[in-house]
Amino acid sequence: MNPVEDIDSTKRDFFIKIAKMYYLEGLSQQEIADKVGASRSNISKVLKTCRDLKLVEIRINDTSSSGLLLQNEMKEAFGLSQVIVVPTGDSPEATMFRLGRAAADLLQSLMDGGMSVGMSWGKLLVSHGAAIQTNQADGYRGDSAPGRNGSMRSSDRRA
């Protein structure tokens, strides 16, 4: 079961409120504590719990300066509107994971509600199948499409 589902809605809403004050509004832990009548220590624990429960996920754009330069050079040389440079990882698996994440992020940025997307599940997407988080409530639909490697069985997908 998903740990976020294990907490009651009132507590979950409180956690989200604290996370928004800290990460979006830029309030200090002490300022939040004063506003909600808690100790700074408790606010710190709530923020850690938010990260542990994946209510808050922190991403760092780790494209280096040379990567940004390469992006601009490729755009100019080939007349491209968008280029994504993905840094290599410490292992082939880590690099494949990063590529899968970048591909999923790009796909999600291009999708509009009500779209259907067909995919052939090759190594790249399988390496991080959980990266594509379509939201049925927003009208997204993903379908497995046969390709060079064939359709992927649901039992082959990694969570």
The pLDDT of residue 104 is 78
For residue 156, the Cα-to-chain-centroid distance in whole angstroms is 21
First-residue to last-residue Cα distance in the chain: 13
Fold of 3-52: Arc Repressor Mutant, subunit A (1.10.10)
Tell me the C-alpha distance between 52 and 46, whole Å: 10
Phi, psi of 119 (to 5 degrees): -135, 145
Compute the Cα dihedral for 134, 57, 1, 16 and give only its sign: negative
pTM score of the predicted model:
0.48
Of the CA atoms within 13 Å of residue 81, those in its CB half-sphere come to 0
Question: Tell me, what's the pLDDT at 157?
Answer: 39
Mean pLDDT by 10 residues, the chain (159 residues): 69 95 95 97 96 88 82 94 88 85 80 71 58 48 52 40
Structure confidence at residue 97 (pLDDT): 83
Q: How far apart are CA 136 and CA 125, in angstroms?
A: 20
Residues of the chain with CATH 1.10.10.10: 3-52
pLDDT score for 129:
52
Q: What is the pLDDT of residue 67?
A: 86
pLDDT on residue 26: 95
What DSSP character marks residue 84?
A: -
Instruction: State residue 152's pLDDT score.
Output: 42
Question: In this structure, what token pair is assigned to residue 108?
Answer: 């999600």
